Amino acid sequence: MAHQISVKIYYEDTDAGGVVYYGNYLRYLERARTEFLLDHGISVTEFHHQGLFFAVIHVDISYKKPARLGETINITSEIAEMKNASIILKSLIFRNDTLLVEACVTLACIDKEGKPRRLPEELRKLSG
């Protein structure tokens, strides 16, 4: 049940050498997660209005090869694990068939006070 998006690398994404700045990959992963959920009919914005938030609590990322200015990269996202109040999404970033980045991001479902909350049923259905 993986989902894929494409991202073009612009000058603003890179360092002085034309290589994507390492922190920008986190932005790409966020965008891919949001699109993954939207593709499955889940709106993070709607949960936000209901007082539920998804906080990144852990990132495990491995940079294999750099993306560069002018390239287009593809990011796949899928659910790796789901618990009562957290979810782990695995993402891979490719340029053509070359793996550039591998990451697992753990998100906790919390309320406005920052207390853990059970994942919404709509999201839990994605694991089955």
Phi, psi of 40 (to 5 degrees): -105, 20
Q: Is 15 a catalytic residue?
A: yes
The runs of H, that is alpha helices, within the chain are: 24-39, 44-49, 121-124
DSSP state of 119: P
Number of other CB atoms surrounding residue 115 within 10 Å: 9
Spatial contact of 2 and 80, defined as CB atoms under 8 Å apart: no
Helices and strands: H and E segment counts in the chain: 3, 5
Rounded-to-integer distance, Cα 13 and Cα 113, Å = 34
Number of other CB atoms surrounding residue 73 within 10 Å: 22
Exactly one of 13, 15, 39, 60 is catalytic; which is it? 15
Active site residues: 15
